[in-house]
């Protein structure tokens, strides 16, 4: 561990993830603030962030709760949004296969950003390291942010003015670009999937469009000898 | 048990179960190479769908121009292999400046 923290490799991973942490921390602050400003007690966003730990699902569940949509609708919306974590869990399973504890702990750290960050790395050792660095850091910063926001209430104002909502899609662009650049088949699958998701968005509940995108995999043919 | 606690519990247990499927199956079931391939391609497809819907839509409708413009700037920077920090800050700053100028 001691040497791990000193390698330039680790330093660059920490540097790159720290921006995602910063942005997530601010989004976390706004989640805490929105929840409390809407009338929920401080412990609700705080506990939810610790045990659910999935930004989009938390926002939508609290949104449904505050809009008076009822607990069943709130839980269903959040769970629907999180079905994608099953696919992400499969994609990073080999990175977590270093023991019982890492499997059970690592599973909780599976998020869009951390999976994207890990898969964007070039070799297995770096991928594993990236998963844990991004995962642990993001968990710490997200939960600290939510607590701070819940305590501060609505003092922060409208966080949309910081442009963070553009930062997250841009982070994902930067992380998937190397993969789709190197693999034309993957690019075709991704473009078809993205188009399907966009087309479906106005018509179906939140969370479903992204799942429909997986239909883009029909374009994924068996590669001719090359490893993916 | 109060309804809010039930929501949090259901979400927490359900989400953790989704997340645990992959890591638990790994090593117990021999996953065919083709399935493993599709799983990693699927992750990229999901991420692209997330970024596309995240960039363009909000609550089932169009998100306005400021956000996709910021994402586009970030995307161009990433395409030109700009450092990660430049991509992230470029995207957020573009959107923030556009909003400041009155573009939704």
* Contact (CB<8Å) A210/B50: yes
Helix axes A43-51, A8-37, angle to 10 degrees: 140
CA-nearest of A52, A213, A63 to B53 is A213
Q: Looking at the complex, report in whole angstroms how far the Cα of residue A2 sits from the nearest Cα belonging to chain B.
A: 26
Using a 10 angstrom Cβ sphere, with 0-12 exposed, 13-18 middle and 19 or more buried, the burial of residue A9 is middle
* Contact (CB<8Å) B11/A52: yes
- Which residues of chain B are within 8 Å of residue A182 when distances are taken between CB atoms? none
Which residue did the predictor score with more confidence, A171 or B101?
Answer: B101
Cβ atoms A47, A174 nearer than 8 A: no
pLDDT tens for each residue of A34-49: 888 888 899 999 999 9
Question: What pLDDT is attached to residue A4?
Answer: 54
Question: What pLDDT is attached to residue A70?
Answer: 81
* Contact (CB<8Å) A170/B74: yes
Range of the domain at B79: 64-104
C-beta atoms surrounding A153 within 10 Å: 14
pLDDT tens for each residue of A128-158: 999 999 999 999 999 999 999 999 876 666 7
At residue A223 the predicted structure's pLDDT band, cuts being 50, 70 and 90, is low
Task: pLDDT tens for chain B, 104 residues: list them.
Answer: 588 899 999 999 999 999 999 999 887 877 788 887 888 888 899 889 989 999 999 888 999 999 999 999 999 999 999 988 889 889 999 999 999 999 88
Of B23, B46, B71, the CB nearest to A210: B46
**DSSP SS3 for A80:** helix
Question: What pLDDT is attached to residue B1?
Answer: 59
Residue with tokens 């179960």, as numbered in its chain: B17
d(CA B76, CA B82): 9
Helix axes B84-100, A164-182, angle to 10 degrees: 140
Residue at B38 is within a domain: no
Which residue did the predictor score with more confidence, A8 or B28?
Answer: B28
Instruction: Kindly identify which residue of chain A lies nearest to residue B89, measuring between CA atoms.
Output: A167
Of B34, B52, B66, the CB nearest to A198: B52
Tell me which DSSP letter residue A111 carries. Answer: -
pLDDT surpasses 80 at A80 = yes
Residues in Cβ contact with B12 at an 8 Å cutoff, skipping those fewer than 6 apart: A48, A51, A52
Residue at B17 is within a domain: no
Which residue did the predictor score with more confidence, A98 or B27?
Answer: A98
Which residue did the predictor score with more confidence, A67 or A14?
Answer: A14
Residues in Cβ contact with B63 at an 8 Å cutoff, skipping those fewer than 6 apart: A165, B55, B56, B57
pTM, two decimal places? 0.80
- Which residues of chain B are within 8 Å of residue A30 when distances are taken between CB atoms? none
Residue with tokens 């998963």, as numbered in its chain: A131
C-alpha R_g of chain B: 19
Residue at B79 is within a domain: yes
Whether A165 contacts chain B with CB within 8 A: yes
Question: What pLDDT is attached to residue A228?
Answer: 43
Whether A49 contacts chain B with CB within 8 A: no
Across the A/B interface, how many CB contacts are shorter than 8 Å?
285
Residue at B71 is within a domain: yes
Residue-wise burial string across A99-114, b where 16 or more C-beta atoms lie within 10 A, e elsewhere:
eeebbebbbbbbbbbb
Residue at B103 is within a domain: yes
pLDDT surpasses 80 at A8 = no
Kindly list the distances between the CA atom of residue A174 and the CA atoms of A184, A210, A212, in Å, as whole numbers in the listed order.
17, 19, 23
Per DSSP, which regions of chain A are E strands? Answer: none
Residue at B98 is within a domain: yes
Question: What pLDDT is attached to residue A227?
Answer: 46
* Contact (CB<8Å) B8/A52: yes
d(CA A171, CA A19): 9
d(CA A109, CA A134): 9
Domain count, chain B: 1
Cβ atoms A223, A185 nearer than 8 A: yes
């Amino acid at each position: 561990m001691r040497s791990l923290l000193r390698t330039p490799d680790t330093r660059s991973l920490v540097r790159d993830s720290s921006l995602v942490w910063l942005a997530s921390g601010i989004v976390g602050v706004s989640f805490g603030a929105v929840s409390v400003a809407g009338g929920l007690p401080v412990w609700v966003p705080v506990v939810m962030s610790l045990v659910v730990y999935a930004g989009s699902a938390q926002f939508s569940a609290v949104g449904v709760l505050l809009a008076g949509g009822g607990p069943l609708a709130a839980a269903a919306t959040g769970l629907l949004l999180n079905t994608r974590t099953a696919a992400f869990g499969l994609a990073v399973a080999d990175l977590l296969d270093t023991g019982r504890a890492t499997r059970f702990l690592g599973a909780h750290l599976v998020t869009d950003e951390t999976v994207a960050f890990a898969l964007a790395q070039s070799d297995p050792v770096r991928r594993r390291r990236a998963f844990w660095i991004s995962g642990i850091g993001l968990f710490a910063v997200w939960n600290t942010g939510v607590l701070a926001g819940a305590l501060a209430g609505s003092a922060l104002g409208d966080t949309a003015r910081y442009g963070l909502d553009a930062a997250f899609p841009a982070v994902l662009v930067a992380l998937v670009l190397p993969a789709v650049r190197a693999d034309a088949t993957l690019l075709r699958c991704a473009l078809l999937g993205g188009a399907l998701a966009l087309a479906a968005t106005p018509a179906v509940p939140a969370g479903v469009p992204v799942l429909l995108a997986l239909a883009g995999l029909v374009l994924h043919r068996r590669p001719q000898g090359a490893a993916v | 048990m109060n309804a809010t606690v039930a929501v949090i519990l259901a979400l927490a247990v359900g989400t953790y179960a989704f997340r645990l499927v992959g890591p638990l199956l790994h090593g117990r079931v021999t996953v065919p190479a083709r399935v493993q391939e599709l799983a990693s391609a699927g992750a990229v497809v999901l991420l692209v769908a997330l970024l596309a819907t995240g960039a363009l839509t909000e609550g089932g409708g169009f998100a306005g121009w400021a956000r996709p413009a910021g994402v586009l700037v970030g995307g161009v920077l990433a395409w030109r292999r700009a450092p990660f920090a430049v991509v992230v800050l470029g995207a957020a700053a573009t959107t923030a400046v556009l909003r400041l100028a009155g573009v939704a």
